[in-house]
Amino acid sequence: MSQQNIPDFTSHVSDAKFVGASNFKRQKTNDTPKIQVKRFHHLEFYTGDATSEMKRFSIGLGMKLMAKSDHETGNHEYISYVLQSNDLMFVMTSPYSENAPRPKTMTQPNPSFSNSHAHDFFRKHGLAVKAIGLLVDDAAQAYQYAIENGGIPVTKPVVCGEGDDQVIFSEISAYLAGDVVLRFISFANKDNEGKFLPGYLDLSAETPNINYGLRRIDHCVGNAEKAMPVYAYLNRVMGFYKFAEFIAEDVGTKESGLNSVVCSNHNEMVLLPLNEPTYGTKKISQIQNYLEHNEGPGVQHLALLSDDIYETVRKMKETWAGFDFQRQPHADYYSKIVPKKMGDKISQEEVEKCKELAILIDTEGEGTLLQIFTQPLGDRPTIFIEIIQRQGCPLPQGGQAAGCGGFGKGNFGSLFKSIEDYMADKGLSSRE
């Protein structure tokens, strides 16, 4: 879609402007949502070598190999693996050769897959998220409502499988521009909601049980040239509302900056923060750096929720399967900054555990947020992972309230410094 044809809903959405964290008031309505989004279902990565990435993500994050689709299953267009840890599901996919001869009879479980597009996607973006899978009540109805309200169509509803195995699958553009899609997926048999698509070979009985305690996706962060038009789009076509926002002045960074708005579905199980770069700072915004190296908007990082971040991070560091973490915060962080902002919300014992593992600590409202960030996952300074734990906002049904402890606003300074150091080491922080 050309730039001039991209819809702009900012004039139709009353809160599609930044006001800063101190002036922000969350305005969630009690209206029944038109699209019943339950939770994140999966994220699909496109890569040049799905087999190697599957092994790295499995060992590095503690995710069990559940299923595959490849030559062996009759799929001669792409190879794909499904990894899972509780409600966290990643799909690692790479295209086969565009020019190799194909058998007359083939199976292709993913109805939206294009071999040429997958090659183009990887050449353009490198290792990156292609699809943000959302579990919905009815993927056909979700698509229809989104398109009727201005959603950018990608894949019309398709029925995959038969009988109890039947799945409905549809897609719209996620960030107005760019190649990432929001993928609606619904299941005839609700007991199958923990699976991916029919046609994948089930490997769960023959692969090792591996689990480092990751529960689900907490939030999935996107970068765009301008965040508010994307928020207005998601508000209009999905019914998502503004859950939180930050501007450069809120996060206290001086040499580079960002503005950020957090979009949420009605039950607050799907949080989609959107970042935009700020300009005129001493150093290049890390968001601008991402946009240049990713060649457009896309998923910047994935926040993965753990019930025991200490155990998760220890296991990740023990295996050291290719996930390097950002540098330890500066010396005063645990001795001066944490006590000042946290008071008695966290014990000294926990502070020492965090210091040992370089875990950052923050608070907002009554909750506490523990977080740590990896370095970029691939060769480009683009996508990375955040491991988090939320404390202090228990829900009656179990778990913690959405956004409990915030989104690390108080740690942006330390995080930016780590990222800026990384960028400087790579020679990416200056145009000179």
Phi, psi torsion values for 136, nearest 5 degrees: -130, 165
Confidence of residue 2 (pLDDT cuts 50, 70, 90): very low
Element (H, E) at 294: helix 286-294
How much is the average pLDDT of 270-279? 93
Percent of the chain past pLDDT 90, that is, above it, reads: 73
Query: Is it the case that residue 80 has pLDDT exceeding 80?
Result: yes
How much is the average pLDDT of 247-256? 72
Q: Does residue 106 sit within a domain?
A: yes
pLDDT tens digits for range 292-348: 999 999 999 999 999 999 999 999 999 988 799 998 888 799 999 999 999 999 999
Strand pairing of 128-136 and 181-187?
parallel
Q: Does residue 32 sit within a domain?
A: no
How much is the average pLDDT of 260-279? 94
Most confident of 31-35, 239-243, 323-327, 419-423: 239-243
Q: Is 386 annotated as a binding residue?
A: yes
Q: Which of 137, 191, 143 is nearest to 165 (CA)?
A: 191
Q: Does residue 78 sit within a domain?
A: yes
Q: Which of 85, 397, 40 is nearest to 217 (CA)?
A: 40
- Are 398 and 253 contained in the same domain? yes
Q: Which of 177, 202, 227 finishes a domain? A: 202
- Are 238 and 310 contained in the same domain? yes
Q: Is 301 annotated as a binding residue?
A: yes
Phi, psi torsion values for 143, nearest 5 degrees: -65, -45
Q: Which of 153, 181, 202 finishes a domain? A: 202
Contact 381, 422 (CB under 8 A): yes
Q: Which of 172, 202, 232 finishes a domain? A: 202
Q: Does residue 207 sit within a domain?
A: no
Contact 364, 320 (CB under 8 A): no
- Are 383 and 234 contained in the same domain? yes
User: CA-CA distance, 95 to 93, in Å (whole number)?
Assistant: 7
How many other β-carbons are positioned within 10 Å of the β-carbon of residue 27?
A: 9
Expressed as residue numbers, the domain containing 416 is 214-426
How much is the average pLDDT of 406-420? 70
- Are 282 and 170 contained in the same domain? no
Number of domains in the chain: 2
User: CA-CA distance, 391 to 410, in Å (whole number)?
Assistant: 16
Query: Is it the case that residue 1 has pLDDT exceeding 60?
Result: no
Q: Is 219 annotated as a binding residue?
A: yes
- Are 400 and 256 contained in the same domain? yes
User: CA-CA distance, 42 to 267, in Å (whole number)?
Assistant: 17
